[in-house]
Amino acid sequence: MRIDHTAYIMDYFGHSYGPRELLADLDEAGFEKAVVMPGFAVDPDLEAHAEALKPYRDRLLGAAWVNPHLTGAAEKLEQAVKEWGFCELKIMPTSHYVPLFTDLTHPLMRKAEQLRIPVTIHTGTHHSLPLELTLLAERFSSVPIIMEHMGYRHFEPDDGVLQAVEVAKRYGNVYLDTTHVFNPHAIRYAVEKVGAERIIFGTETPIRPPKICVEVLKLAGLKRRQEELILGENLERLIEASGHPH
């Protein structure tokens, strides 16, 4: 099964990009499902996000983007998972100013541990260098941590990937996500050093069309079995382990 790990429904360049538009892009690129984030906000409206996805729950899985600074953040995550069927937690250190080396995220991480869901953490910009994840990966070793962008963003992207790979080599609960990684050499390097079983495919659609992102992955020159793992089987395994219906 092909699953896009990082998709959004949001207003983008003056147009509404909703579930129907997302599904059309997924169909064009050959994906059965996607994990869908809400658009950015200081306090993302997860209930409205759940309502928007409800008619399409057979294909669109909700992700709970939660601001760790807000009162009741852990309870909000629990409600999103138990009542609305969300399958993972998203933490955005740059937008919400979350220093990962402090205990600010610990209540959310403990709740994710209890709920047995993976946690996606944005990396590669302010407050989110891959090496900053090491304390969380060590303290919450039973929680699958998906390193979004695998460090490949605005500041020294090659160095970010090198950092991400070293963190993943040291901590077996860390997975590397290809969202925004438009360098096939970086993807191939990550596969060689960490293994295809720990790489997860994402696009960040509508910002980056799924069809183009698949072409970048193909340029990495991987074996067919490696591509199958990256394009969905690894994420499917994590979702199954959480007990979430997929």
Would 168 be classed as within a structural domain?
yes
**DSSP at 233:** I
User: Which CATH number fits the domain that encloses residue 237?
Assistant: 3.20.20.140
**3-state secondary structure labels for all residues of 209-237:** CHHHHHHHHHHCCCCHHHHHHHHHHHHHH
Q: Are the CB atoms for 125 and 114 separated by under 8 Å? A: no
pLDDT at residue 154, rounded to an integer: 64
pTM of the model: 0.96
**DSSP at 170:** H
Average pLDDT value for residue range 22-29:
98
Q: Are the CB atoms for 216 and 181 separated by under 8 Å? A: yes
Q: Are the CB atoms for 156 and 186 separated by under 8 Å? A: no
Would 182 be classed as within a structural domain?
yes
Give the torsion sign (CA, 199, 200, 203, 204).
Answer: negative
List pLDDT tens digits, range 54-102.
Answer: 999 999 999 999 999 999 999 999 999 999 999 999 999 999 999 999 9
Question: Which region among 2-6, 73-77, 86-90, 128-132 has the lowest average model confidence (pLDDT)?
Answer: 128-132
List pLDDT tens digits, range 134-193.
Answer: 999 999 999 999 999 999 976 677 889 999 999 999 999 999 999 999 999 999 999 999
Q: What angle do CA 6, 26, 67 make, to 5 degrees?
A: 20
Would 199 be classed as within a structural domain?
yes
List pLDDT tens digits, range 201-225.
Answer: 999 999 999 999 999 999 999 999 9
Would 91 be classed as within a structural domain?
yes
Distances, alpha carbon 45 to alpha carbons 85, 87, 206, in Å:
15, 16, 19
List pLDDT tens digits, range 185-199.
Answer: 999 999 999 999 999
Would 246 be classed as within a structural domain?
no
Angle subtended by helix axes 46-53 and 73-82, to nearest 10: 10
Would 204 be classed as within a structural domain?
yes
Distances, alpha carbon 70 to alpha carbons 67, 78, 107, 115, 163, in Å:
6, 14, 11, 20, 30
Would 38 be classed as within a structural domain?
yes
Q: What's the domain range around 9?
A: 3-241
Would 123 be classed as within a structural domain?
yes
Domain count, the chain: 1
